[in-house]
Chains A and B, each alone.
Chain A
């Protein structure tokens, strides 16, 4: 379905006339920028170096970090789930099975998957859940940020309404910074793959400094966050 556009011509003509020229009819090429400092940041860092940077950054963003491998993932995750307590909500994701997380799927613990056919019921589930479990698609080492693309199987609120957030991070998803994520999003778009309706860049739990600049962790979103890096993925 195509949406509507109202009042555009007059509005844009006012702009071009203020700028002292005719409305632009052709294509404007993006200039070759004179400065590109963002490309220099952590330019030649290896995956191991990026992991060290992520680890350090987690101290700044009130986030616990575990590093494990595929074999031990199940145990590490189970531990963390038990430590937080409450039921787990996650997107529908084949990777859980591939990564041997059977304990989630065979109801050893209280586990629910996002199910779009249930519509708004998903929101209520997310409200009830103690833990939101997500898989980071890209991980920005510099800022300690996970990137999530929402779709029908991965609702936006999985990462948000539960009080605790656990993110699984394949080590191969590490990139230096937001620059690489932006480039990847753009190149997908240029290939004709529509960008997700909601891309979340999440850096630790939610927080606010609105009261006397005192940091309060856990305002509207999760109060606690844990990252689990999987070394051999």
Chain B
């Protein structure tokens, strides 16, 4: 008799295990197969800072959460419906966040008294009744995998390592995901290691068959595709989208892309990704430190390239002085800060939004720069493009403030048509008589981009204050005052689109205003509040310096403005100082995105105030 199939609207699954258990890979594969079925989705990888934290310990637990649905998905989901826990540590580290009634699949082989006591379990939770209110499937994943692979010529260790593929096979069956793509992926990944390939393929198949044949799993689930705009799609993470956006900007501007970078979590993937694309003429330079990284990017910009530097908070601190030089030289420069928990080394693998004021003001003197922030993973592509537009047109440093959440998280992306991407063509200054390096375009206030190699344009620039027009050294008080104000006016005058407000009835009682990666969580909370009949509006800032021209009017329209941030109120401080608006800050810095529930509660508190 064939098994029962149940239709669901949405599911959230969390894969958790030791950092060596391959949970990120398992999650990635499940995500790609889910995307290809046409579900909308959002992911949240969460891993320890240590590469191989001690086995079986709580702080060595790595997890990957995926939320997928037959409708538009805004967050990776709050409480998972399914937890796959590969050992007692993974169970213990995650159980608090699992709602009663949820499904828990564990590898019972790992629940030995030694492993249990390592994480402080006095009794075995699989046997002591503490998991009674969950749908518990305690499966000997390790031994089933090892037994299944007994005929193969792989070591016991390699066989045990394949147990994540057993789990993936089982979940693939449970949720009717396609098997071919994972098989193709394994074929490619282990092409040079036939033994390991065979082990992984067989473990995957065995997991699938286990679901299909045993009575332990009576039901499987279907989630219909989400309604999405027609087109070609792929799944993409924020960091990859930033890298692609930069390449696209380089292609559409005709400028050589130069990345100067020093490795740092969670920004390194952008360096890795761009290093793969030399055939686009992309130059990646792994510098000796962040100062050299930004310095080399500025040197390349001076020479007429699209100079970019990527980093995270501690690295940004080091780049400060050179960014000030870029402000003074008035050259294009893109600085990507993939924010993580701070201060100092802080929480390297966790997300936070606490570098906003550093980007805004973290330089000596009056040193204005443009600050923009992507709202979600696929927005990273557009924001990179936008940064290139602003940097090259206005010849200013532009900060992109991404963060660990959207850098690693992924979502489906409708591929843009290359020919429809805006033209970013820029003109360098041409040979001319009496060249004035600090003469300005009256509209943008940009000075000429006069690159070495252009006859007749030989000139000297530097960090010492410049005389208007000639760019010669000038200590004249009036000139300094003028130049400081001009640099400020240039950044303030950067054209950015107006802020759009989502307020369907037009009479919302509260506006939720965010920036950066809180877009999804705020949106999910707004949806839930509206479903409960609450009148709430949402607006999200992609442009922080300068703010959109209509921001003052938007703020004035709402009595109550709630500003959720993963910091202690940095955007709120800017809003209050610029608009004298007493916005309400809602903050948390736990290293994870906001949950929908807490944002609903925070909004209700404001509504009932």
Q: Do A and B come from one complex?
A: no
Q: Which residues of A contact B (CB under 8 A)?
A: none
